Structure 1
Amino acid sequence: MSGTFLIRKLNAFLPLRADGESALEALASKRVKSLLRGHDIISEGEDPKTVNLIVDGWACRYKILEDGRRQILAFFVPGDLADLHVYILDAMDHSIGSITPLQYAMFKPTEFEKLGDEHPRVLRALWWDSLLMSSIQREWLVSVGQRSAVESLAHLACELFLRLKMVGLAENGLCRFPLTQSDIGDALGMTQPHVSRTIKDLNATGVVTIQRGTLRVHDLSGLRTLALFNPNYLHHLYQAAI
């Protein structure tokens, strides 16, 4: 069921009607592509012609400087759209790449617009989802500018855990965490040695353990406190997750 995770997330914002869920699932299952790790769904400068839904695996939004340095601007997990209105651009000003082997569904703009016209509750829930991604972007900026290294990594771990838990991909405090030290460093503005030390320091707190591609939350309240985590930026998703 290609649309399962997106439907779960949208229902947290606004309960959908059965016909809206069915239409969304039919569209999500229509055109599913696979991608190996380390490849782009779409690259900067290309003409975006589709809206892309992450069905399985992890992806990221990123930019590359002329000297090869990379800044990761967002992580996408199953149920995320990358991005909702991107098809209105003439050329991409960023790239969307796979962090793990990936499956994604491609929506044609006309199909997506028809879905919104025929199912207003789906459209309104998608607006919520778009606002959520903007909220996450603002919170990431706060981390890069103001939080310490441990606070920033703790905040990222807490956010991703809650996003995964909300769509049913975290159980008993455990979820996948396939980010490399390079991925984390490029998202949080740290060198790889700094990331390695920060993971060690964060694990030593006892509230969370990051190792071997997994994240285990031992004390969610303690993690929130350590990260200076205010869940209001996740809006309805936080209440749905807990």
Structure 2
Amino acid sequence: MANAFIRRLEQAGTLADLEQKVLLSLEFGTQELAAHQAIIGQQAEPVLCLMMRGLACRYATLPDGTRRIAAFLIPGDLFGPPAGFPSELAWRVGTLTRCSVAELPRPDLCMLSSYPGIKRALRWLMRDELNRARAWLLNDSQASLQRVAHLLCELQARLEAVGLAGQDGCELSLSQADLADAAATSHVHISRILQTLCGHQLVSLGRQKLTITDVRRLRDLAGFDPGYLAARRAEFEPDDLLVSGLT
């Protein structure tokens, strides 16, 4: 999945051949994790990790014990707070499916930031995450049907960008409970929403699988504009928060 990481970084602009070779030459120590397993706990030491395979999420456990998912993590995503951030402020990160995760030594990432194209892309990754966080916040104001449709559209668009989904649809290993916790709705209500989407032939449900079957119509329903996922090239220059936090 090093190629997924390269495709993720190249959303900020094309990397030079040398930069791609450097990324492909990195040797990641990966760990295989089962579904529904913690990757980063609330009190864990801050680490930087790379999603190699599978689907994970950032989440918080609310005072009443319920889980709220705040972001999905796909292959090619980096996650974990920059150095210097208090670990108690970090969201937990956990797997939703079987995952391969690589821990990235900070010296390696500092070395990567010496390459202009990679440095630009690392800045862009931080900005992209902020854009998606804003979109999720705005999406919370929509009705639950549109809210769920928007989450599915974003996930499809992001997977397509790294070569893991087609533009006409994709198969997702998401449970109804995962979607409910991402959409801030009940597990009973999410079942009704998915049945409505199935009735309109926008998605189909299988055993532990949800398939988006009509991307265009689902986007129309959600009012989904993928423009916030296509924002390129951070406008701020060298010593930004992400790169300086790696030192």
TM-score normalised by L of structure 1: 0.88
Is 1:191 the counterpart of 2:186 in the alignment? yes
Given that residues 157 and 215 in structure 1 are in contact (C-alpha distance below 8 angstroms), is that contact kept between their aligned partners in structure 2? no
**Structure 2: gaps spanning 5 or more residues:** 233-247
Matching residue's letter, 2:74: V
Deviations 1:129-165 (A, max 9, x none): 2211111111111122x21111111111111111111
Q: Residue 199 of structure 2 is aligned with which of 204, 208, 214? A: 204
Deviation at 1:126, TM superposition (A): 1.8
Give the distance between the partners of 1:86 and 1:182, measured in 2 at CA. Answer: 30
Given that residues 60 and 98 in structure 1 are in contact (C-alpha distance below 8 angstroms), is that contact kept between their aligned partners in structure 2? yes
Give the corresponding residue for 2:31.
Answer: 33
Q: How many residues align?
A: 231
Secondary structure at 2:87 match in 1: coil
Aligned ranges for residues 1-242 of structure 1 at < 5 Å?
Answer: 2-27=1-26, 29-48=27-46, 50-83=47-80, 85-93=81-89, 94-117=91-114, 119-144=115-140, 146-171=141-166, 173-235=168-230
Cα gap change, 1:88 to 1:108, in 2 (>3 Å): farther
Matching residue's letter, 2:122: L
Give the corresponding residue for 1:240.
Answer: none
Deviation at 1:176, TM superposition (A): 3.1
Matching residue's letter, 2:7: R
Report the RMSD for the aligned CA atoms in angstroms: 1.8
Given that residues 175 and 214 in structure 1 are in contact (C-alpha distance below 8 angstroms), is that contact kept between their aligned partners in structure 2? no
Identity %: 32
Give the distance between the partners of 2:137 and 2:193, measured in 1 at CA. Answer: 19
**Structure 1: gaps spanning 5 or more residues:** 238-242
* Relative contact order higher in (CA < 8 Å, ≥ 6 apart): 2
Give the distance between the partners of 1:133 and 1:112, measured in 2 at CA. Answer: 18
Secondary structure at 1:176 match in 2: strand
Give the distance between the partners of 1:6 and 1:25, measured in 2 at CA. Answer: 9
Given that residues 171 and 212 in structure 2 are in contact (C-alpha distance below 8 angstroms), is that contact kept between their aligned partners in structure 1? no
Give the distance between the partners of 1:57 and 1:86, measured in 2 at CA. Answer: 23
Matching residue's letter, 1:155: H
Give the corresponding residue for 2:243.
Answer: none
Given that residues 174 and 210 in structure 2 are in contact (C-alpha distance below 8 angstroms), is that contact kept between their aligned partners in structure 1? no
Give the distance between the partners of 1:182 and 1:86, measured in 2 at CA. Answer: 30
